[in-house]
Amino acid sequence: MSVKKEHALELFPRDIEALVAEVGLPSFAQKQVLDWIYNKQVDSVDAMTNISKEKRQLLAERLFFRRSKSIKTQKASDGTIKKLLAWDDGSKQTETVMIPAKGRRTACVSSQVGCPVGCTFCASGIGGLEGNLQVGQIIEQVIALGGRDITNIVFMGMGEPFANYSEVTRAIRILNAPWGMGIGARKITVSTVGLPAAIDKFATFDIPVTLALSLHAPNDSLRKELIPWAKFAPIEDILKACNNYFTATGREITLEYLLLGGINDKTSQAKELVGLCKTLRCNVNLIRYNEVPELEYVRPKTEQVRRFQETLTKAGVNTHIRASRGRDISAACGQLKREHVQITTG
């Protein structure tokens, strides 16, 4: 009877301990196998040269290492690398991005195939949701972008992380663990569109990573126009949950605000945003829109972005304008996948 294979990048020490005992390896082999999987990041049991050939064969019958194939890679002049990964039979595809900056190499990973949220300005949700990514698929993205060279993780790729809560939190454990990828909690950020119940649950998670809220509008009426899921929770409820997260973890909330030219970049809207910020321990990341050819939104003018920032700063709100990266490639989230689908389907 054949044994169902497990993805090696989903295994915890207790799983390896059981596997080592099952194939008849000595207990110290647990550390060896963990080292091969997460530190050396091999893609085959054959590479585990300090394990006998006979035992490697037994392990090969129980483990697989990769589900993805990189079908397209783009590299921008600023060093940003974007990969389109095809999973299993190739019918499902996700993007993942490596962003280099000042000694950091940040992996922007996807949590779902497509996205259920349907933000009107985003290419990720144009085709809807095709499924959740599993733990090993999330870790695999980090390895595809450089593995041990990666210093920071942001769950800001395709999908809503809290709509795949169990897999995302298990992946965070592996990313953070010293036996896993060894990335500090303060260097891991989870970005959500704002699901109060999920945020409250996340406040009890024992690894205090950074929480980022994709706000994108200073009031409920505009937010509902931009983000269909905004109808499920008013901003007041979301910020209350974010306050709970700060109280539980001591981690300041990052408010992500995507500036869309002529839509949400007015000075009056910046003043509204100040009012929201005064209710929360937070900082604000202003993000200039990267255009998607199929959508009508435009990138805001530089002077308007600066005026928006000045309004926030003068009111005492800690505000940064995120540097636009990868502008000479398919920079917008979901854009590379969308372009590939259009080319391959004619």
Kindly list the catalytic residues. Answer: 95, 333
Residue 128 and residue 109 in contact, taking contact as beta carbons nearer than 8 Å: no
> Which of 219, 225, 222 shows the shortest CA–CA distance to 238?
219
Angle of the 267-277 helix axis to the 302-314 helix axis, nearest 10: 40
Distance CA 46, CA 298 (A): 51
Residue 121 and residue 74 in contact, taking contact as beta carbons nearer than 8 Å: no
Residue 148 and residue 39 in contact, taking contact as beta carbons nearer than 8 Å: yes
Residue 176 and residue 184 in contact, taking contact as beta carbons nearer than 8 Å: yes
Quickly tell me which residue has 């989903």 as its tokens: 10
| β-bridge partners, 129 | 114
CA angle 292, 146, 156 (to 5 degrees): 40
Quickly tell me which residue has 């502008």 as its tokens: 327
Locate 194 and state its tokens.
């704002």
At 194, give phi and psi (nearest 5°): 110, 85
Amino acid, single-letter form, for residue 146: G
Quickly tell me which residue has 């695999």 as its tokens: 140
Going by C-beta distance under 8 Å and a sequence separation of 6 or more, which residues neighbour residue 62? 3, 5, 6, 19, 22, 23
Amino acid, single-letter form, for residue 96: T
Distance CA 25, CA 16 (A): 11
Alpha carbon 192 to chain centroid distance? 10
80 class by beta-carbon count within 10 Å (0-12 exposed, 13-18 middle, 19+ buried): buried
